[in-house]
């Protein structure tokens, strides 16, 4: 895979932000590795998975909020723009931040795979690299294609990505390590795949 830092950018961050702000509400644009991406709108099952996770987080850590639709400035020098399916952060952490927030203070970012051709490149490769390079402590990939959860921890800010990766099948108990410290019983996720 080509290193994201070596790619020639399709446009500037300012051009991307202008484009993204003019896009209709039904279109979510992202900018990773200098490339424009369109994030597929969540289907009912994907939304249900995020709601399930929100309930687990609220039960275990009521002082945290699970934000949906929050844009983050990611990658080296915050030159990327991502809209994770969810971001776990302290209560009211992103108040007043605008559309693209600094990822500092985010404890966990979550992506739930879509059934589209770009999922492999974006969710399994580009996003963990960008989130790790941004120093976000944990990245949780809920992969409906393989019926697995992958917890990425120990971010590597120098090269991007994470040094520790743990994958579990739907139905297993999964620990989101510190700084989150929540155990998830994932049996119910089997109901939300095709």
Q: Is the pLDDT of residue 2 over 60?
A: no
Q: What is the CATH number assigned to the segment(s) 42-192?
A: 3.90.1570.10
Q: How many Å apart are CA 45 and CA 31, to the nearest integer? A: 25
pLDDT at residue 6, as a whole number: 52
Q: Is the pLDDT of residue 158 over 80?
A: yes
In the chain, domain spans = 42-192
The predicted-structure confidence for 98-155, as pLDDT tens digits, reads as follows 899 999 999 999 999 988 777 778 888 899 999 999 999 999 999 999 999 999 999 9
> Helices then strands (H, E): number in the chain?
4, 13
pLDDT at residue 57, as a whole number: 96
**Predicted structure pTM score:** 0.91
pLDDT at residue 122, as a whole number: 84
pLDDT at residue 3, as a whole number: 47
């Amino acid at each position: 895979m080509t290193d994201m830092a070596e790619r020639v950018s399709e446009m500037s961050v300012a051009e991307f932000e202008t484009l993204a702000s003019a896009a209709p509400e039904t279109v979510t644009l992202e900018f990773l590795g200098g490339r424009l991406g369109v994030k597929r709108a969540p289907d009912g099952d994907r939304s249900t998975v995020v709601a399930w996770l929100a309930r687990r987080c609220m039960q275990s850590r009521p002082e945290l909020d699970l934000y949906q639709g929050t844009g983050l400035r990611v990658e080296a020098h915050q030159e990327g723009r991502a809209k994770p399916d969810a971001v776990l952060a302290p209560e009211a952490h992103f108040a007043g931040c605008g559309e693209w927030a600094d990822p500092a203070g985010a404890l966990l970012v979550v992506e739930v795979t879509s059934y589209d051709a770009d999922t492999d490149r974006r969710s399994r490769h580009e996003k963990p690299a960008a989130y790790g390079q941004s120093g976000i402590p944990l990245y949780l990939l809920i992969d409906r294609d393989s019926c697995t959860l992958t917890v990425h921890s120990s971010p590597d800010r120098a090269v991007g990505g994470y040094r520790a990766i743990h994958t579990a099948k739907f139905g297993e108990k999964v620990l989101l390590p510190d700084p989150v410290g929540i155990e998830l019983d994932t049996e119910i996720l089997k109901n939300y795949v095709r």
